[in-house]
Structure 1
Amino acid sequence: MAFVELDRLTKRYGSATVVNEVDLAIDKGTLVCLLGPSGCGKTTTLRLIAGFVQPSDGHIRVGGRVVSSPSGSAPPEARNMSMIFQSYALWPHMTVFENVAYGLRLRHMAKSDIESKARRILQATKLENLAERYPAELSGGQQQRVSLARALVIEPETLLLDEPLSNLDANLREEMRFEIRRLHDEFRYTTVYVTHDQTEAMTAADIIVVMNQGNVEQAGSPEDIYERPQSEFVAQFIGGTNIFKGKRVGADAVDCGNGLVLRCGSGDFAASGETAVSVRHHDLHLVDKKPEGDPTNWATGKVVRQVYLGSHRDYLISLSGGETVRAIAPVGLAIPENQQVWLHCPPDRCRALAH
């Protein structure tokens, strides 16, 4: 049985449905990321799990016990959960040690137990040398570590994180992604992590749940979500992709018009009407000479923009049919703007999308 279960969880504000019949089962010790754009319902879902918001319909169970339903909800303090917010919310007049030990003192633990538990978590979060400093004397990354240590020290059954790295600069965010994953592997709390950053989700999560307009679009491992998207939204939101649309022809191909026919090595074709085809930016092969042979999976166009990014070049290309696509190419391939180019979409990297 799953440890945290969302059963047709729904939240409405007036006529607006912000979480729509979400079903989700989270096994004990799993780190799940709720991923999606602003306004997709991910933070409301987290607040429902925490008990800050009562559902309009559906249930939340934790350890087999109903903690939220339309008829009543257990208060946040009765759920044995810790939540980390976007702001660090540290007590400015307390030292690092005092901030971390605060939750233990509220539980009236013995002074010796408070000391040993707090010291142990400070060591695990690499803060033992900063124990006597105040929050104003710490960097953003160090403050975030304190926030994590304070949440973990009370040994919650469930850890909830709401965009915890959004206030950090790019380098610190990268460092803290791996730190959160390291701490999860060490303590194995059941964790629900909200983010709009796909790299955060790919780095930290066991399971990614992609949300859109209050609905779950797809849930799966990072590799499954990236390699096998089931919708245009998921394909475009995770990793970036080019979407071609057309009619199915034969067993495995889509005619996109203007002479472009794409054979697809994976995915699902629409039963009728239009089928979309996803091709990742880095899977397009770019050449500056017209190829010979079978024209299937080849397109031609002109370079609109070319940007040097150190490890690669990022191309924007206008195809002969009017579509615009992006392609990632090696640094050594430098094709100037307005020059004609040809693109190959390998069949095994073309994924059909029924919706």
Structure 2
Amino acid sequence: MAFVELDGLTKRYGSLTVVDAVDLAIEKGTLVCLLGPSGCGKTTTLRLIAGFVQPSDGRIRVGGRVISSPGASEPPEARNMSMIFQSYALWPHMTVFENVAYGLKLRRLGREDVRTRVGRILQATRLAELAERYPAELSGGQQQRVSLARALVVEPETLLLDEPLSNLDANLREEMRFEIRRLHDEFRYTTVYVTHDQTEAMTAADMIVVMNRGAVEQAGTPEEIYQRPRSKFVAQFIGGTNVFSGRRVGADAVDCGGGLVLRCGGGDFATGAETAVSVRHHDVRLARQRPPGEDTNWAAGQVVRQVYLGSHRDYLLSTSGGDTVRAIAPVDVAIPAGEQVWLHCPPDTCRALAL
């Protein structure tokens, strides 16, 4: 049995369904990221787990006990969960030590026990030297670590994080992604992490749950989600990809029009004749000439834009069939805008998608 279970979890506000019959099983000690665009229902799902919002239908179980159902839910303070919000919500008049110790004092732990546990968590979060500073004297990354330390020190059954890195600049955000993963590996709390940043999710998560319009679109490991997307939405949301629409011909090929036929090395075709194919930006190959005798998975095109980005060149191309294609190429592939070009999508990089 999974440790956290969402069974048909639904939340409606009038006629608007914000969370739509979500089923999810989270194993103990796993870090799960709820990933999706704004308005997809991920934060409402987190708030339902926390007990701040009551479900319209469905149930939430933790450790086998029902903690939420319509009309019968445990209050947040009875759930043994810690939640970290977008804002750090630190007490400005308290030192780092006092902020971290606050939850333990509410639980009436003895002074020595508080000192021991806070000291241990400050060492783990690399804050021991900052214990006597006030929040205003800390950087954004340090304040975020204080927020994490305060959540972890009470030893919750479940840790909930709502866009915890959104207020940090790019460099700090990158650093804190790895810090959150390091702390998870050390403490192994069952963690549900909400983000709209795919890099955050790929870095931190054991399992990614992609949400769209209140429902789970796909769940799996970062590698499964990236390498084997099941829908057009997941393919486009996780990593850069080109999606070609067309008609299935034969066992493994799609006629995309304009002379482009793509043979697919994997994926699931739509049940009808119309289907789609995903090709990642970095999998598109560019050539000035097409090898003689090769037709499938090749298309004629023109360079619309080419940008040098140091480690690679970013191309925008138009095909003779009217498709717009992005391609990432090595820096030594330098084809000016306006020139004709051939695009090759190797079959093993083409993935069929159910529409």
* TM-score, normalising length: structure 2: 0.99
CA shift, 1:71, in A, is 1.8
Residue aligning to 1:64: 64
Residue aligning to 2:180: 180
Q: State how far apart, in whole Å, the 2-side matches of 1:329 and 1:183 are.
A: 36
> Alpha-carbon deviations, 1:285-335, whole Å to 9, x = none?
011223322210001111111111111110000111111010000011111
Q: Letter of the aligned partner of 2:128 in structure 1? A: E
Query: What secondary structure, in the 3-state scheme, does the structure 2 residue paired with 1:102 have?
Result: helix
Query: What secondary structure, in the 3-state scheme, does the structure 2 residue paired with 1:304 have?
Result: strand
CA RMSD, aligned part only?
A: 0.6
CA shift, 1:250, in A, is 1.1
- Residues 2-41 of structure 1 mapped to structure 2, 5 A cutoff: 2-41=2-41
- Residues 335-350 of structure 1 mapped to structure 2, 5 A cutoff: 335-350=335-350
CA shift, 1:354, in A, is 1.7
Q: State how far apart, in whole Å, the 2-side matches of 1:139 and 1:98 are.
A: 18
> Alpha-carbon deviations, 1:225-280, whole Å to 9, x = none?
00000000000000020001111111110111111000000011122221100000
Q: State how far apart, in whole Å, the 2-side matches of 1:353 and 1:138 are.
A: 48
Residue aligning to 2:228: 228
**Percent of aligned pairs with the same amino acid:** 82
Q: State how far apart, in whole Å, the 1-side matches of 2:191 and 2:136 are.
A: 28
Whether the aligned pair in 1 keeps the contact of 2:258 and 2:322 (CA below 8 Å) is no
Q: State how far apart, in whole Å, the 2-side matches of 1:151 and 1:116 are.
A: 16
Q: Is 1:110 matched up with 2:117? A: no
Q: State how far apart, in whole Å, the 1-side matches of 2:6 and 2:331 are.
A: 47
The count of residues paired between Structure 1 and Structure 2 equals: 355
Q: Letter of the aligned partner of 2:174 in structure 1? A: E
Q: State how far apart, in whole Å, the 1-side matches of 2:146 and 2:102 are.
A: 12
- Residues 1-355 of structure 1 mapped to structure 2, 5 A cutoff: 1-355=1-355
Query: What secondary structure, in the 3-state scheme, does the structure 1 residue paired with 2:10 have?
Result: strand
Query: What secondary structure, in the 3-state scheme, does the structure 2 residue paired with 1:286 have?
Result: strand
Q: State how far apart, in whole Å, the 1-side matches of 2:6 and 2:172 are.
A: 33
Q: Letter of the aligned partner of 1:307 in structure 2? A: V
| Structure 2: stretches of 5+ with no match in the other structure | none
> Alpha-carbon deviations, 1:38-86, whole Å to 9, x = none?
0000000000000000000000001111100002110000000000000
Q: State how far apart, in whole Å, the 1-side matches of 2:154 and 2:15 are.
A: 39
Whether the aligned pair in 1 keeps the contact of 2:290 and 2:298 (CA below 8 Å) is no
Q: Letter of the aligned partner of 1:225 in structure 2? A: I
Q: State how far apart, in whole Å, the 2-side matches of 1:206 and 1:285 are.
A: 32
Q: State how far apart, in whole Å, the 1-side matches of 2:140 and 2:170 are.
A: 12
Q: Letter of the aligned partner of 1:183 in structure 2? A: L
CA shift, 1:178, in A, is 0.3
Query: What secondary structure, in the 3-state scheme, does the structure 2 residue paired with 1:173 have?
Result: helix
Q: State how far apart, in whole Å, the 2-side matches of 1:292 and 1:126 are.
A: 61
Q: State how far apart, in whole Å, the 2-side matches of 1:164 and 1:237 are.
A: 20
Query: What secondary structure, in the 3-state scheme, does the structure 1 residue paired with 2:200 have?
Result: helix
* TM-score, normalising length: structure 1: 0.99
> Alpha-carbon deviations, 1:127-180, whole Å to 9, x = none?
000000000000000000000000000000000000000000111010000000
Q: State how far apart, in whole Å, the 2-side matches of 1:346 and 1:169 are.
A: 38
| Structure 1: stretches of 5+ with no match in the other structure | none
Query: What secondary structure, in the 3-state scheme, does the structure 2 residue paired with 1:72 have?
Result: coil
Q: State how far apart, in whole Å, the 1-side matches of 2:294 and 2:335 are.
A: 24
Query: What secondary structure, in the 3-state scheme, does the structure 2 residue paired with 1:282 have?
Result: helix
